[in-house]
Amino acid sequence: MRVAEHVAARPASALRSYVHRYTGYHYRGFASGVHLGLPSSALTVVLSFDEPTLVSLHPGEPPTGYAALAGGLTLAPAFIHHDGTQYGVQLDLTPAGARALFGLPAAALAAAVLPVDLEPLTDRLRAASWPERFALLDAALTARLRPAETAPELAYAWQRVQRSGGELRVGELAAETGWSRRTLCSRFTAEYGVGPKDALRLARFGRSRRLVQRADRPALAEVAAACGYYDQAHLAREWREFAGVAPSRWLAAEDLPISTSQDGTSAGTLEP
């Protein structure tokens, strides 16, 4: 029998500048496969309550197992191997959350998956109910919270990119911060691990994914126009880079209902 449990919660108010949300999931009885973890504008922490999460960053690469992992911003999918069962909780972090909770700039996690030492917390979470788990996460994360100052121009630039949904020019963003384009690109990349142009692409990709996944989804040409792509061919190129597959194939492959991140970016299943 298939089990598909998906429970989301907002963190405590003191954490909301650093953690967008918690998503608990328990899936059992599905066919084994490889999930595509699609890029998004959120950093991700995953705590497994069952077997380690098996992740590889390149097709055909043997996966590495993680009891708890953190992943940063990336422009390519991650490959999440599973045997039909997934049980754990996902935290969607802002870039500020990487500094405040782990003492690292988001750039330290860019295009990478790293182990994090949260085993005692994971043991307590495993034995609790979902409401208790979210309360435990609130307490544990609040206790380790160490807010760190980021240049106000960088914080503004990140928020401006997110609000724009990707429909903004880098030159305009630089002008709004008062920095030169070169300074903005250099400092933005050093902090976030991607440049402002790619951050805008990620924001636009997230919007397109949400539209593509809707039950009443528009034609791809309409999705492209709504999200600020030049045309459908431009959208298709971005999907090939970010997802490795066309939107139609991603939709057809989606089986295990893996948790969805704050900007709607999710994962699909590709059978081996």
Residues in the chain: 272
DSSP-assigned states of every residue in 32-86: PEEEEE---SSEEEEEESSSPEEEESSTTPPPEEESEEEE---SS-EEEEESS-E
Q: Where in the chain is the domain with CATH 1.10.10.60?
A: 152-250
For 27-81, write each residue's pLDDT tens digit. 999 999 988 999 999 999 999 999 999 999 998 899 999 999 999 999 999 999 9
What mean pLDDT is predicted for residues 230-240?
96
Angle between helices 196-213 and 152-164 (to 10 degrees): 30
How far apart are alpha carbons 95 and 129 in whole angstroms? Answer: 29
What pTM, to 2 d.p., does this model score? 0.90
- pLDDT digits over 194-227, tens only? 999 999 999 999 999 999 988 898 999 999 999 9
Domain 152-250 classified CATH 1.10.10.60?
yes
DSSP secondary structure letter of residue 144: H
Residue 111 · residue 57 · CB < 8 Å = yes
CATH number of 3-148: 2.60.120
pLDDT band at 257 (very low <50, low <70, confident <90, very high): low
Question: CATH 2.60.120: which residues of the chain?
Answer: 3-148
